Amino acid sequence: MQYQISNQPVAGVQASCIVVTLDQSGKLSDAANAIDQASGGFIQARIDARDIEGKTAQTLLLPAVAGIGAERVLLVGTGKETLKSADAVKILNAIASATSGYSGNVALALAHLATDTLPAAWWAEQIAQAYGNALYKYTETKGKKDDAAEKRQPDSLTWLGDDVSAAFSKGEAIALGVAYAKELGNLPPNICTPSYLAAEAVKLGAAGALDVTILDEEELEKLGAGAFVSVAKGSSEPGKMIVMKYQGAADKNAAPHMILGKGITFDTGGISLKPGLNMDEMKYDMCGAASVLGTMKALLELKPAINVIGMITSAENMPAGHASKPGDVVTTLSGKTVEILNTDAEGRLVLCDAMTYGINNFKPASLVDIATLTGACMAALGRVNSGLFTTDETLAGELQNAAAYSGDKVWRLPLEDDYQELLDSNFADMANIGGPLAGATTAACFLSRFTEGTPWAHLDIAGTAWNSGGKAKGSTGRPVPLLVNYLLAK
């Protein structure tokens, strides 16, 4: 999609649709008032008829009106109070949903909504993402495709106001990354295997400035990554560890910032088998990996002057005669031993060896892992906030700031030493679960033992990576917006 900036009089703007606003008191924005006057009071007549009340994100589509250049007018409510970011996003999503099916140009008279808290650049960035969400549609494994319907979408967006071109570019890059992460998450697990994710990383590398390395299961076993292998060996699909190196900084040797995604492309629970109900959704257990690929895609579009390592640790967790059993003890790449009390706590096993590999080989300035790790986090935070765990206050602040700006929310959960004893084992250095209480925290405690002093944070996205049930079912692409904003601030 193309993005344009214009300062021409609103009534004369040529567009398939122009978007203007009113608040809940019925007050029209200056742009809406200009159109109302040029059309002989057409908008005010609709307000007087109570066709629209101006509630937050309420919309009313009006047909072509004599006296204005646009073919349609979308009237959007902004509510009755100063807009918070969550309400602003609702408004932008409503606009994108209402106009994404029109070809031609959509003009946006929204500059008056900008504030010190939500500047014009923020609005432009978010509207680009809103259109990305509105236009995304999964079709890959559907037999009948309506090509004509897919092609019907805006050719361009015109922002009526000051130049926000850079913000549009950033928002579009994030939207591309989100759509990519959604697509990977939504693919069925017989297609999106560890080998598929590895091939996607190679494609990204070929298309942009990425150096990609793939370590297979056999290599990792030789290296001593016993925790990873304990998960991967139960499947006929070979496990992979994927490393993507982006070097955008002037100093190519500057310590990189690492993001590491859990990529369990299907999780049966292994020998500790999950219940059958909704098990199909365990294809989403690789959404951490998808978010890393989506973030790297966005970085290739934006080309920031930083060094980033994107890592994915990927396997299937399956029951088999040679799969790990509860009670097994395995030796991690770090040399620490783990008693596997539950084979369904596999994500931390593949992540810990990847953390050790990444820290030993790249000496990162920071490490953030992203994982659909625990149902306990979902139970605590639902589908609104991702769980944030770290003892590094600087890193916590950076991630919280990125979350607040992007609207990709996080909530910080405890990571205190008092919880570590729940992982005690009589037969190994630690167990892979800590019992029925504080499950999200004990999972983070487990990972913390493999950080080796590196500034580290853990994002548990079990509740936010996908939506369940009905028409809403599907990957969300989170936390790509959070990760991109976090890395761009480095």
Catalytic residues, which ones?
A: 274, 348
- How does DSSP assign 227-248, residue by residue? HHHHHHTTSSSPPEEEEEEEE-
Token couple for 464 = 């936010």
Which residue, among 86, 88, 174, 192, has the nearest Cα to 136 in the 3D structure? 174
Asked if residues 429 and 337 have their Cβ atoms less than 8 Å apart, the reply is yes
Q: Which residues pair with 22 in a beta bridge?
A: 28, 77
Strand 210-216 to strand 466-467: parallel, antiparallel, or no bridges (unpaired)?
unpaired
For 4, 424, 441, the CA distances from 419, given in Å and listed in that order, are 53, 10, 7
H-only helix segments in 57-144: 85-99, 120-135
Which residue, among 73, 72, 69, 65, has the nearest Cα to 14 in the 3D structure? 69
| Residue 198: its H or E element | helix 194-207
Q: What are phi and psi of 114, to 5 degrees?
A: -65, 140
Strand 156-160 to strand 105-108: parallel, antiparallel, or no bridges (unpaired)?
parallel
Whole-number Å distance between alpha carbons of 247 and 399: 22
Whole-number Å distance between alpha carbons of 142 and 208: 30
Token couple for 489 = 């601030």
How big is the CA angle at 221 (ends 220 and 224), to the nearest 5 degrees? 90
